[in-house]
Amino acid sequence: MVSPVTVVKSEGPKLVPFFKATCVYFVLWLPSSSPSWVSALIKCLPIFCLWLFLLAHGLGFLMAHPSATRIFVGLVFSALGDAFLIWQDQGYFVHGLLMFAVTHMFYASAFGMRPLALRTGLVMAVLSGLCYALLYPCLTGAFTYLVGVYMALISFMGWRAVAGLQLVGTAWRWTELAAGSGALLFIVSDLTIALNKFCFPVPYSRALIMSTYYAAQMLIALSAVESREPVEDYRPSKAK
C-alpha cells in the first residue's frame, strides 16, 4: 500500500498548475452575466491542467491502462460541458448537460463493475430518487425527463466509484478513496446547480458549485494514477 506521504511527493508537483489555474478562476471571478471566450477559457483552464496531469504520466501509461484513458476522455467532455454552460442563458444548458452525461458514462466505465456492491447501488438509487422527487415539482417540459436521466447517470457513476471503496484492511487503496470522494463531490455540485436553476436561489451557489466541482475532478483524475487493470509494465523495455 502506497503511503499518503509518497503520494503527495510524487503527484503533488504535477498538480501545481491545476491549483494555480483554480486560484486564477476564483481571483478573477469573471461575471457570469457577461459570457465570453475569455471567461470560458478561465473556467476550463483547471480542467486543461488535469489533462496535462494525466499526460505527465506518459502516453504509454494511458495506452496501457484503459481506465485512465476513459477518465482522460471524461475530462475532455467535461471541458466541453464547462464551455457550453458559460452560455447556458443563451440556450446551451442542455448541451452542457449532455456533455457531462457522457463524462459520467466514461467515468463509470473507468471505475468498472467489480465489486458489484448491490447494497451500495441500492442506497445510491434511493438517494437519487429522493433528490429527483425534490426537484420534480420545479421541472417543466423536456427537463422533466432530461434531469431524471442525468441523475440516473451520475448516481450510477457514484455507485461504481464508491463500490470499490474499503476504508480498512489490506485491500485499502488511496485511489479508490479519491474516486469515491470525487464522485460524491460531483453529485453535490450538480445537485446545487439543479436546485439553484430550477427551484430556489442557493446562497453562494457559484462558489459552492465550482469549489466542489474542481475538487471532484481533481480527485477523479488522481484516482487514475493507480490502475485498476493488472497489466504488464507499460514502460518500454530497453534493448539488451
Structural domains counted in the chain: 1
Residue 235 lies in a domain: no
**Structural domain containing residue 113:** 4-224
The confidence band for 4, taking pLDDT boundaries of 50, 70 and 90, is low
- d(C-alpha 65, C-alpha 110), whole Å: 10
Predicted confidence (pLDDT) per residue in 109-168, tens digit? 999 999 999 999 999 999 999 999 999 999 999 999 999 999 999 999 999 999 988 766
Q: List Cβ neighbours of 140 (8 Å cut-off, separation of 6 or more).
A: none
The confidence band for 233, taking pLDDT boundaries of 50, 70 and 90, is very low
The grid cell for 68 is 485512465
Predicted confidence (pLDDT) per residue in 194-215, tens digit? 999 999 999 999 999 999 999 9
* Residue 199: C-alpha distances to residues 138, 183, 191, 194 (Å): 5, 23, 11, 7
Residue 234 lies in a domain: no
- d(C-alpha 117, C-alpha 160), whole Å: 8
Residue 230 lies in a domain: no
179-204 average pLDDT score: 97
Predicted confidence (pLDDT) per residue in 25-63, tens digit? 999 998 888 899 999 999 999 999 999 999 999 999 999
Residue 120 half-sphere exposure, CB side, CA atoms within 13 Å?
Answer: 19
